[in-house]
Amino acid sequence: MYYLGLDIGTSGCKAAVFDLNGECLHVAYRSYSVMQPVHGAMELDVAYVWNSCLSCLEECGSKFGSRIAAISVASQGEAIFPIDREGNALSCAMTTFDTRSTSQAAYLKERLGNLPADVLLRPADNMYSAAKILYQKENGAQNADFEKKIWKYMCFSDYACWMLCGIAGIDYSMASRTLLFNVKDKTWNQQALDICGISSDLLSAPVPSGTALAPIHAKLAAQLNFSPDTLIVSGGHDQQCCSFGVGAVADGVIMDTLGTTESLLAVSPDCAYDERLLNTGIPCDGFLFTGSYAYLGFLSTSGQVTDWYKRTLLKNQLTFAQLSEGPKAPTGLLAIPHFAGSGTPVLDAKNRGLIYGLTAATDTNTLFKGLLEGTAYEVRLNIDKLKEYDFAIREIRVTGGGASSAQWVQAKADVTGLCQTVMKASESGCLGAAMLAARGAGHIRDGEYPWVKIDHVTEPDPENHKRYEALYQQYKLLHQIIGEHRHELYLP
């Protein structure tokens, strides 16, 4: 008996099949492109994405067919789009970092200002779905039939489940990312809905992750080579599924996904949220497990910074491995990796990158490591902010493409002073979704994580950590100076 996790990302989708021991038997991947038709746009063609998903599912079905018992979905958050009753998208999906809804976010911030911080548990930012809905409504108004055609607004997770089995259910972790959801009460927020001019009927019904929705449509099962008894199970936000897949599901252990961007996720049984945390941009989402909450910080650029360095300055003449042959000790450089604005805990799309401390003696490999150190300092800023809210963090579980870089992982350990546990699973999002599928099918019980497997642990170097402590204080000072003069330093 096998389980399939479908991961719908921004640049591609993948489907992975796992057996009852959590061994990955097969991965199917299809890429697609983010479209940028106008300034600020970052959108996806919904039909193309869905056909890519179907292609991945069909590839897995052709190999394992009727042995796949259940399917669940991990999905990028925030991206949302209107559909008609037949499932046709009425616009492209605006992805997380699409900035066209900036004015709509400002409007939401003004109108939602009377709500306490601990209701929606996040700032009114243009990344969230509510601002995108307002933008789509305002820009679809030129088509007189636009509003009449809308049956639902959906994110990719509930859309995939609905297309597969006909049940429109959005899990709590994804609903949290809309800015329309009462995270504690698990209901749609009427005030936010009214401001956006929509009713809850235009959204999927909120359900817990791991909920058995319905068997796959019989016609689709035949097309994809699945059994008609294959169960479709509600999934979760991709970062939460990654967190589940690496076993970062309780106090003391956080997940770090090292990729083009970087996400940090900490799980807590408590929901402590106030204006101070609101101002950091760190949201609090309903977690995959009822009664737990996920605090999600992020770096808007992480691996992208090193890719820029290799591509732009080095013209791709050196590989990542060659560049990693740099110094073991701290470089002394202070690289602020805000190459696409800053993520948390200083959420500002207008911030810019900076490399301080360069001399004529700075060589290629030293500068490369300095960029890695910059991402580690940003992670430390997020961790320190979480510690202010009584998170007793003792371990970081590392996943994503960057986890294969021993130099990068060691820099994280040395800067943070925390053990970095590198996981065996390379497809942690798919693994988390497949575990939800197995839970929905009743084959994994609550509190069990039998598929979570550790590869190795990287310990901090005590001497390096001591030196990084002094450098980190300088990094924070540089951050502070830039923050105090942010508006004077803004570039168009």
Indicate if the pLDDT at residue 51 is higher than 80. yes
Same-domain check for residues 199 and 295: no
Residue 107: CB atoms within 10 Å: 16
Torsion over CA: 289, 295, 301, 306 (sign): negative
Radius of gyration of the chain measured on its C-alpha atoms: 22
* Confidence (pLDDT) at 283: 94
* Confidence (pLDDT) at 272: 85
Can you spell out the DSSP letters for 73-133?
EEE-SS-EEEE-TTS-BSSPEE-TT--TTHHHHHHHHHHTTTS-HHHH-S---TTSHHHHH
Indicate if the pLDDT at residue 208 is higher than 70. yes
Among the listed residues 344, 336, 82, 125, the one whose alpha carbon sits nearest the alpha carbon of residue 239: 344
* Confidence (pLDDT) at 116: 86
Mean pLDDT of 358-362: 97
Same-domain check for residues 191 and 281: no
- Run of H or E residues at 152: strand 152-155
Contact 110, 45 (CB under 8 A): no
* Confidence (pLDDT) at 148: 85
Residue 16 backbone zone (phi > 0: left; psi -120 to 50: alpha; other: beta)? beta
Confidence band for 492, pLDDT divided at 50, 70 and 90: low
Mean pLDDT of 121-143: 88
Tokens of 343: 């993520």
Same-domain check for residues 121 and 187: yes
* Confidence (pLDDT) at 200: 97
Q: How far apart are CA 449 and CA 235, in angstroms?
A: 16
Q: How far apart are CA 101 and CA 56, in angstroms?
A: 32
* Confidence (pLDDT) at 318: 92
In which domain, by residue range, is 462 found?
A: 247-489
Omega cis (within 30) before 345: yes
Same-domain check for residues 52 and 175: yes
Confidence band for 491, pLDDT divided at 50, 70 and 90: low
Same-domain check for residues 138 and 215: yes
Q: Token match 């079905």: residue?
A: 61
* Confidence (pLDDT) at 345: 94
Give tens-digit pLDDT for 105-116.
Answer: 999 999 998 788
Q: How far apart are CA 335 and CA 440, in angstroms?
A: 45
Indicate if the pLDDT at residue 48 is higher than 80. yes
Confidence band for 59, pLDDT divided at 50, 70 and 90: very high
Q: How far apart are CA 224 and CA 386, in angstroms?
A: 44
Among the listed residues 467, 473, 475, 486, the one whose alpha carbon sits nearest the alpha carbon of residue 333: 475
User: What are the φ/ψ torsions at residue 345 (nearest 5 degrees)?
Assistant: -95, 15
Mean pLDDT of 25-48: 95
Same-domain check for residues 213 and 261: no
Give tens-digit pLDDT for 271-307.
Answer: 989 888 898 999 999 999 988 999 999 999 999 999 9
The pTM (predicted TM-score) of the whole model is 0.94
Mean pLDDT of 120-128: 93
Q: How many domains does the chain have?
A: 2
Contact 364, 404 (CB under 8 A): no
Mean pLDDT of 425-454: 90
Mean pLDDT of 217-236: 97
Position 74, amino acid: A
Q: How far is CA 302 from CA 14, 123, 382, in A?
A: 22, 23, 14
Q: How far is CA 347 from CA 116, 225, 277, 350, 483, in A?
A: 20, 45, 11, 9, 11
* Burial of 182 from C-beta contacts in 10 A (0-12 / 13-18 / 19+): buried
Same-domain check for residues 352 and 462: yes
Mean pLDDT of 353-382: 97
- Run of H or E residues at 28: strand 24-31
Indicate if the pLDDT at residue 144 is higher than 70. no
Same-domain check for residues 213 and 171: yes
* Confidence (pLDDT) at 124: 92
Give tens-digit pLDDT for 401-423.
Answer: 899 999 999 999 999 999 999 99
Helix, strand, coil share (%) of the chain residues, nearest 5: 40, 25, 35
* Confidence (pLDDT) at 65: 87
The domain boundary residue, chosen from 240, 255, 289? 240
Q: How far apart are CA 8 and CA 136, in angstroms?
A: 22
Same-domain check for residues 29 and 80: yes
Same-domain check for residues 234 and 253: no
Percent of the chain at pLDDT > 70 equals: 99
* Confidence (pLDDT) at 110: 93
3-state DSSP call for residue 437? helix
Give tens-digit pLDDT for 82-106.
Answer: 999 999 999 999 999 899 999 999 9
Confidence band for 141, pLDDT divided at 50, 70 and 90: low
Confidence band for 489, pLDDT divided at 50, 70 and 90: confident
* Confidence (pLDDT) at 142: 56
The domain boundary residue, chosen from 212, 240, 268? 240
Same-domain check for residues 164 and 262: no
* Confidence (pLDDT) at 240: 97
Same-domain check for residues 273 and 200: no
Residue 179 backbone zone (phi > 0: left; psi -120 to 50: alpha; other: beta)? left
Give tens-digit pLDDT for 293-350.
Answer: 999 999 999 999 999 999 999 999 999 899 999 899 999 999 999 998 899 999 888 8
The domain boundary residue, chosen from 221, 240, 259? 240
**CATH number, residue 432:** 3.30.420.40
